[in-house]
Amino acid sequence: MTEPTESTEPLTSPSGTARNPGDTGTTQRPGTFLDDAALGQLRPLSFTVAYRMLGSVAEAEDVVQEALTRVSQTPDVRNPDAFVTTVTTRIAIDVLRSARVRRESYVGEWLPEPLVGPFPSLPVAMATPSPDVARHAELADDLSTAFLVLLETLTPTERAAFLLHDVLGFPHSQAADVIGTSEVAARQLASRARRRIAASTTAQAPASNTNSNPNSNPTQAHLRAQAQPPAPAQPPAQTHADTPAPARSTRPRSAADRARAEQLVSRFLAACEEGAVDSFLELLTEDVVLTGDGGGNVPQGMSIVRPVAGRVTVARMLATFISRGAPLHFERALVGGEPGLLIVADDAVGGGLIGTWSFEVSDGLLSGIRGVINPRKLGHLGPLADLDRLQAALRRELEERTAARRAAAHRADDQPSDS
């Protein structure tokens, strides 16, 4: 792949609004290189591009390091945001191609490495104030677990074309330059990506909700809005091929949606404390899917290998998990920008993070639960739990319960029967 050339065209911000290079806050005098402060401003933008492409924090950080190194060695960069986006995307395409080979042999289901928190270091646009609530909602949607799982259905170039045009607002002509193809090919890649995503969201939509409000699931509704087939081509004199994608203006996400999601997670947390099957049944859609990602790196019995579907089946599995009496607790957090839970080991077994749960909501109920407990995907979040120690505690708890039941049965047998 050839070294990218520095763009002289205005860059469009992730919200789809065009801005001039002077608005980025990272311009420089002719004949100079970007200094450390300017490179530091570019790092969050490079990371969000790389993470959207790869769904892996570790791989994204490696890509960012290489991209910033290349940018730092290029003189007279007139549009740093556009240039770092170009370099990051091109490197990420190569990394994703090799990563796909590894993911084909992955043990169990592959889920993205979770981001936890409000993303204060990941602004929507560079050199702008901290994102407000609406801006944060936009970024959270694009970094959510559900969104990244859908992007896994795309080829590396389809993913790049879709993200550049539909998410970052690049015209197809600029996206083509980034990917290294023609404008027509870039347009086709993005269109094919929309169709794949539309097919995936349709397949994942609960059958029981076919006639319900199409915006009841914010993530799926947003993706359906972006995935509509492109309008028929206009004559050349009227074409709008080089205008940014307008997807943001129709985003269904609202403060009320997020409040309902927060409330649902609160009810789910209460159900975990109760541990009753009926408590979970009240929160799940008929075809809810529970997915776990242990990656073959957790003790046997601590993660599911295949997704489990169905309201009753998932409710029973969750209740069984809670009833095991594991020395752990749950903490509320934003996982992938959405209300979620952290699974944390109790101090009695050394503490530390066990995993994360992220949720997908449809019609006020949970339609998807995704748990990541693969320790190789959680190291960036802080100290991890000792899973072997946790399993040993679970085994002792099971042995004690079994012994108590046998003792109770023995006492019952020893009591004289009424004559």
SS (H, E, C) the chain: CCCCCCCCCCEECCCCCEECHHHCCCCCCCCCCCCHHHHHHHHHHHHHHHHHHHCCHHHHHHHHHHHHHHHHCCCCCCCHHHHHHHHHHHHHHHHHHHHHHHHHCCCCCCCCCCCECCCCCCCCCCCCCCCCHHHHHHHHHHHCHHHHHHHCCCCHHHHHHHHHHHHCCCCHHHHHHHHCCCHHHHHHHHHHHHHHHHHHHHHHCCHHHCCCCCCCCHHHHHHHHHCCCCCCCCCHHHCCCCCCCCHHHHCCCCHHHHHHHHHHHHHHHHHHHHCCHHHHHCCEEEEEEEEEECCCCCCCCCCCCCCEECHHHHHHHHHHHHHCCCCEEEEEEEECCEEEEEEEECHHHCCCEEEEEEEEEECCEEEEEEEECCHHHCHHHCCECCHHHHHHHHHHHHHHHHHHHHHHHHHHHHCCCCC
- Mean predicted confidence (pLDDT) in 218-243: 38
- Residue 235 makes CB contacts below 8 A (sequence gap 6+) with none
Work out the percent of the chain whose per-residue pLDDT is above 70.
Answer: 73
pLDDT of residue 204: 57
**Rounded average pLDDT over 163-177:** 92
The residue among 242, 83, 95, 98 whose CA lies nearest residue 178 is: 83
Tell me: pLDDT of 197 over 90.
Answer: no
Burial (CB count <10 Å: 0-12, 13-18, 19+), residue 269: middle
Contact 4, 90 (CB under 8 A): yes
The tokens of 366 are what?
A: 């949970």
Of 62-66, 132-136, 312-316, which gets the smallest average pLDDT? Answer: 132-136
399 pLDDT higher than 80: yes
Query: In this structure, is the dihedral angle defined by the CA atoms of residues 219, 225, 229 and 230, taken in order, positive or negative?
Result: negative
| Token representation of residue 84 | 């770092």
The answer to whether residues 44 and 50 touch, using CB atoms and an 8 Å cutoff, is: no
Phi, psi dihedral angles at 330 (to 5 degrees): -115, 145
Q: Is it the case that residue 114 has pLDDT exceeding 90?
A: yes
- What is the average pLDDT across 83-90? 95
116 pLDDT exceeds 80? yes
CA distances from 322 to 34, 312, 344 (A): 53, 15, 13
- Nearest CA to 348 among 393, 302, 382, 312? 393
Residue 136's pLDDT is 39
What is the Cα–Cα distance from 28 to 83, expressed in whole angstroms?
14
Structure tokens at 21: 């290079």
Distance CA 335, CA 338 (A): 5
Q: Are the CB atoms for 121 and 43 separated by under 8 Å?
A: no
Q: What is the pLDDT of residue 402?
A: 82
Q: Tell me, what's the pLDDT at 202? A: 64
First-to-final CA distance of the chain: 91
Each residue's pLDDT tens digit, 316-367 = 999 999 988 889 999 999 998 889 999 999 999 999 999 999 999 988 899 9
Across the strands, what pairs with 343? 330, 355
What integer is the mean pLDDT of 199-216? 50
